[in-house]
Structure 1
């Protein structure tokens, strides 16, 4: 009987793991002695770093997807979500996209389910906040922002018009900063279509509880990014949180109440709910693994990416773990795949170690800040490095070509400011879009086993 390797998730970590397994285990996959199964709800890998540009209409949704039928050649693809794992019985519970639930036994398991938007117990947040973690959310957010401008342009009440022109983004990390930057440019360009809106009425506010914007960039580049956004008219409120959200207003922790119909929540991520029901040790909400990416106490089970607390061997601090970035996820995938192969062959496992190559932040247009290889860049040079990095990181040549074509078309042709409208009747909560309540509890997993 074939040895079955199940890979959960087709993000950066999962897809790269499968591609590496296909390469290293090609003879075994062809003769049937090994089977690799990739379980993912979508038939594409989403290139998350470019999602703000999708929301802003700079590039199309298709351009940030990597089709799995093209990227995965020999592994079996199972369209569904792993909603539970019984580590004792070595079996995954898969809910297929048809709704049917099946048991999927495994010999080796690679957990790369990714992350979901982290939420807090803030009144009204669950009901009214918009997320930015997947394609549906990006498409909905774009439609929503353009709809607010249309409604403001048609409004006869000045207070309503002002409220619809006020946008709040919570989270001063990469997702929040890039989302605010890109959508602010979208609104600025769209205003020529809405003559009844005073340009000074459109206001974007970016808030974060931290004392600095994007602290990972370092103090100097973080301040430069802050200065760029402020000069463009984006209001930055640091050391400020949200205390309440309604359908018509947002209340900040400093007591300010802002009439507002749009709150975008990007205040961090947390592990997929899948890992929290495994009954194993967690570190800061992520699966505790060794430097070999193996889950402690469970030989043959590996975890990587956003849901794994992987020791950072490049740091002197023994408690340091790798940040949840695409850069680390793709490189962890090589180690994870090689260790799966080593475990099948009875060889020694290797440890993951990677020195961070730097960070890039696209602020829209020709503006960016970047910190590649300890160099500090801003403006056009940083934008060249930023977009060059994204092109290098995209897995397929056809995907890169689409992104470049979109950039060129947007540069010379601008935006058409069209609302797609296909998600207009859908409940827009983070839980609804990200399916965070669809996973099985530990008791439900045990009940299935019995």
Structure 2
């Protein structure tokens, strides 16, 4: 009898935790574990603004999967289609080859991509904050703008280079704007020819409040902190159009700038659209036990799944946070093992532990277990949570060392110069157009044989 094959799609919080927990639950003879992921590391997304500002090195937030997993086979590539009828996943490897992975049990945790809203110019002229490459590119780009401004004798050119726009008033956008503003404020002191008043950071969001999940009081506190530091924050405003040298807002303003960072929400991975299954705002509908109705042996979780939030009730869906994704990974592993062994499945239930928002330096707002904190206590909670969530001791040590070094020695401003010859785009980093149509999926899976 063949050993059952469990294929996990996605190496983020949800997928990695599923694989890690399955290795603990299942004996090696019970199942073969295979993980499809384009990167061989688990990315700790909440700390990407720290990487973009240069406080943390990239390897601090990229935990090697081969350090975390001992017997899971890692397949370097991206899933571009799923055929539930053939119980097969079409995988495009990093070398461009296409292969088919058959499964007995499938765990879908492909994550999300940056939501773009089809605004003219955004796909061509904006960059997100969803990948390690984007964070590293943004840092290089921002420092390049400082260097180019310092090199120019044209005041108009300097002003254009030193205007920066971040779209999205959620956690990612707010922390990105806060940390990069912190970086440029420190950097301008090393550029004697640049006037600090020329540097302008704009944070905009269509919502009427900044980070509404924090509650009115903490959201207002964060807003006041950022405005006091000099950020220009516009709420109820979005982008109408973007070009290489301008950004036009929906309130009619047009800003000359070369930097548009897009963090205005996320959309489920386009992989979900390749399945003929019911969705909720693009997220795959699942049962409380994370099983996908009507698809034999398929479980889904993380950003790409509409997981019922049983703690809140009233048809609430779990928010796409790292906190839920990690715990859903543990629940998915338990239920996959239970299915394999013929045992009953259990529903996913988790009460949100709270929120942390790091605004840089000693400034933060946090809401652990419903307790509202600001300043140093909030910062201690935020950084303590991040250290605990990192999955290896080396990652924790690197992160703690980087934080300490930055606190003692402040920022460094090194421009690497990669991709200097052309701008980067959302398409370059996230490749949301790589997925197959149903006909192409069937063409691949229909011609394949199980090895």
| TM-score with structure 2 setting the length | 0.97
Contact 2:302–2:324 (CA under 8 A) maintained in structure 1: yes
SS at match of 1:212: coil
Cα distance in 2, alignment partners of residues 245 and 261 from structure 1 = 10
Shift of 1:432: 1.2
Residue 35 of structure 1 corresponds to 32
Q: Does 1:155 align with 2:155?
A: no
Shift of 1:427: 4.8
Cα deviation per residue 1:87-110 (whole Å; 9 max; x = unaligned)? 110001111111111111000000
Contact 2:9–2:109 (CA under 8 A) maintained in structure 1: yes
Cα distance in 1, alignment partners of residues 419 and 149 from structure 2 = 20
1:400 pairs with 375, 396, 407, which one? Answer: 396
Q: Which consecutive segments of 4 or more residues in structure 1 shift more than 3 A?
A: none
SS at match of 1:45: strand
Residue 449 of structure 2 corresponds to none
Cα deviation per residue 1:123-149 (whole Å; 9 max; x = unaligned)? 111111111110110111011111111
Residue 90 of structure 1 corresponds to 87
Q: Does 1:422 align with 2:418?
A: yes
Residue 409 of structure 1 corresponds to 405
Shift of 1:429: 0.8
Contact 2:164–2:202 (CA under 8 A) maintained in structure 1: yes
Cα distance in 1, alignment partners of residues 437 and 357 from structure 2 = 38
Contact 2:84–2:296 (CA under 8 A) maintained in structure 1: no
Cα distance in 2, alignment partners of residues 238 and 163 from structure 1 = 22
Cα distance in 1, alignment partners of residues 80 and 274 from structure 2 = 10
Shift of 1:351: 0.2
Q: Does 1:314 align with 2:311?
A: yes
SS at match of 2:55: coil
Residue 12 of structure 1 corresponds to 13
Shift of 1:447: 2.4
Cα distance in 1, alignment partners of residues 318 and 202 from structure 2 = 30
* Unaligned ranges ≥5, structure 1: none
Shift of 1:255: 0.4
Contact 2:187–2:413 (CA under 8 A) maintained in structure 1: yes
SS at match of 1:169: strand
Cα distance in 2, alignment partners of residues 423 and 17 from structure 1 = 36
Shift of 1:426: 5.7
Distance 1:34 1:316, change over 3 A: closer
Q: Does 1:346 align with 2:347?
A: no
Residue 54 of structure 2 corresponds to 57
Shift of 1:16: 0.5
Cα deviation per residue 1:18-53 (whole Å; 9 max; x = unaligned)? 01000000x2x1x3x410101111110000000000
Shift of 1:413: 1.6
Distance 1:409 1:131, change over 3 A: same
Cα deviation per residue 1:292-316 (whole Å; 9 max; x = unaligned)? 1011101310000000000010113
SS at match of 1:422: coil
Distance 1:179 1:418, change over 3 A: same
Residue 279 of structure 2 corresponds to 282
SS at match of 1:36: strand
Q: Does 1:101 align with 2:98?
A: yes
| TM-score with structure 1 setting the length | 0.97
Contact 2:90–2:444 (CA under 8 A) maintained in structure 1: no
Contact 2:365–2:373 (CA under 8 A) maintained in structure 1: yes
Residue 333 of structure 1 corresponds to 329
Aligned residues: 445
Q: Report matched runs for 1:29-428 at 5 Å.
A: 29=28, 31=29, 33-317=30-314, 319-425=315-421, 427-428=423-424
